Structure 1
Amino acid sequence: MGGVKSKRVPRAVREQQMMDAAVLTFARRGYRAASMDEIAEVAGVSKPLVYLYLNSKEELFTAVIQREAAALVAAVRGAVEQGAAADRQLWSGLKGFFAHTAEHPEGWAVLHQQARTHGEPFALEVAAMRAEIIEFVTGLIGAAAREAGCDESLAEREVSGLAHALVGSAESLAEWANARPEDARPSAKETAATLMNFAWTGLGPLMGGERWAPGG
């Protein structure tokens, strides 16, 4: 009798294993210092197999960015409580964002630290992800403005800017949370509450027509 043949790993599964290894390596070593040899070793495959499946290091990094960006956008969209009050929708979306970045710190590091600092085409991939999230948040804030009976001038002048500010704040807060010691790291709920306390307490009066103005 012949020996039992080992079960062949499907190509799609093998690719994901190699991309998982690439995420870990890029996050820990940085794009320039990471090597295909190291990625292959972490994945438990040969270096030629990595090249066969994923071509060049640049193409591998691009594929990693695209995968991690799509997962983050899906997490935010999927977390929002559809049909809830505007503040509840924003709160749930933020919880989804912070939960995902906390559960996938290496993926977040690749998006927020590595991809944005190594020029085109990597920065463009992240910019596209941010634009999609900002558009989504713009819709949530716009809905909040309409829910509060705000005049149309707020939506026209400020909603997009507020969305940019909120997304930028969320990104900075996620980096802060992930960098804290594990025993002092806030939960996704706590981090989302921090941002809601900062943002929504200001947005609330704004939706009611209040404006800050410099004195003198």
Structure 2
Amino acid sequence: MGAVKTKRMPRAVREQQMLDAAVRTFGQRGYTAASMDDIAELAGVSKPLVYLYLNSKDDLFATCVRREATALVAAVRAGVRTGPPADRQLWDGLLAFFTHTAEHPDGWSVLHLHARTHGEVFAAEVTAMRAEIVAFVTHLIGDAARAAHHDPDLPDHDVAGLAEALVGAAESLATWANATPGVTARQAAATLMNFAWAGLGDLMAGRAWSPPPV
């Protein structure tokens, strides 16, 4: 096989092209099975160029983890507007989360499956991302949780626990939704919204929370 020919382009653009290829490869094959040759071929560049731009395989994977984590947090934050009722803010946050993970399934696999299990350094990156999301959700659902429980004095640690539970459920549901044909981001968000907002009792009694009109 001859050398890969590359077109001259700005470094930043070329680097993002390589990262896109790396996320796709790591997401679909995992860290161990992914090779720098595969990543270079998918990016349309030579392997030496990948090493020149992004150093080692570990450095490349760490960069992918950080990029995908930053993008996910930004997407959730951008999806929530201040002003609407508490249930609408929670809905908007969940919908933003599931929309992003559905649109970037390889990035989600890198974060939720591969980075957690490959090594302590990578797991720490995901832990930091998760802590940021939990902190944001804790703030986001504080009023929602108190309203749902009709308790204006609901302790902060209870709100934090609800946030942890909600984020954990969202993570698992996102992985399931991406692996299940026909499940949309909106359906996944509505499923979790019913569980979190309406409560199991209301849900079982047929009093399900309904998403706002499109």
Instruction: Report the counterpart of residue 110 of structure 1 in structure 2.
Output: 110
- Structure with greater Cα Rg: 1
Count of residues paired in the alignment? 196
Contact 1:72 1:100 in 2 (8 A): yes
Q: 1:60 to 1:7 in 2, by over 3 A?
A: closer
Instruction: Report the counterpart of residue 192 of structure 1 in structure 2.
Output: 189
Deviation at 1:156, TM superposition (A): 2.6
Contact 1:23 1:107 in 2 (8 A): yes
Instruction: Report the counterpart of residue 143 of structure 1 in structure 2.
Output: 143
User: What are the within-5 Å matches in structure 2 for residues 11-160 of structure 1?
Assistant: 11-145=11-145, 150-152=151-153, 154-160=154-160
Tell me which amino acid in the other structure corresponds to 2:23: V
Q: Cα deviation per residue 1:107-140 (whole Å; 9 max; x = unaligned)?
A: 0011111001112100000001100000011001
Contact 1:21 1:43 in 2 (8 A): yes
Instruction: Report the counterpart of residue 205 of structure 2 in structure 1.
Output: none
Query: What SS does the corresponding residue of 2:155 show, helix, strand or coil?
Result: helix
Tell me which amino acid in the other structure corresponds to 1:195: L
TM-score (norm 2): 0.86
Q: Cα deviation per residue 1:138-189 (whole Å; 9 max; x = unaligned)?
A: 001212245676343x2333110110000000011101110012xxx22211
Name the CA distance, whole Å, in 2 between partners of 1:103 and 1:17.
17
Name the CA distance, whole Å, in 1 between partners of 2:44 and 2:97.
31
Contact 1:27 1:109 in 2 (8 A): yes
Q: Cα deviation per residue 1:82-117 (whole Å; 9 max; x = unaligned)?
A: 211111000000000000000000100111110011
Contact 1:145 1:155 in 2 (8 A): no
Tell me which amino acid in the other structure corresponds to 2:126: V
Structure 2: tracts of 5 or more residues without a match: 1-5, 203-214
Segments ≥4 residues shifted beyond 4 Å = 145-149
User: What are the within-5 Å matches in structure 2 for residues 198-209 of structure 1?
Assistant: 198-202=195-199
Name the CA distance, whole Å, in 2 between partners of 1:124 and 1:203.
33
Name the CA distance, whole Å, in 2 between partners of 1:166 and 1:51.
39
Contact 1:18 1:39 in 2 (8 A): yes
Name the CA distance, whole Å, in 2 between partners of 1:178 and 1:156.
33
What fraction of aligned residue pairs are identical, expressed as a percent?
69
Structure 1: tracts of 5 or more residues without a match: 1-5, 206-216
Tell me which amino acid in the other structure corresponds to 1:68: E
Which deviates the most, 68-77 or 185-194? 185-194
Query: What SS does the corresponding residue of 1:30 show, helix, strand or coil?
Result: helix
TM-score (norm 1): 0.86
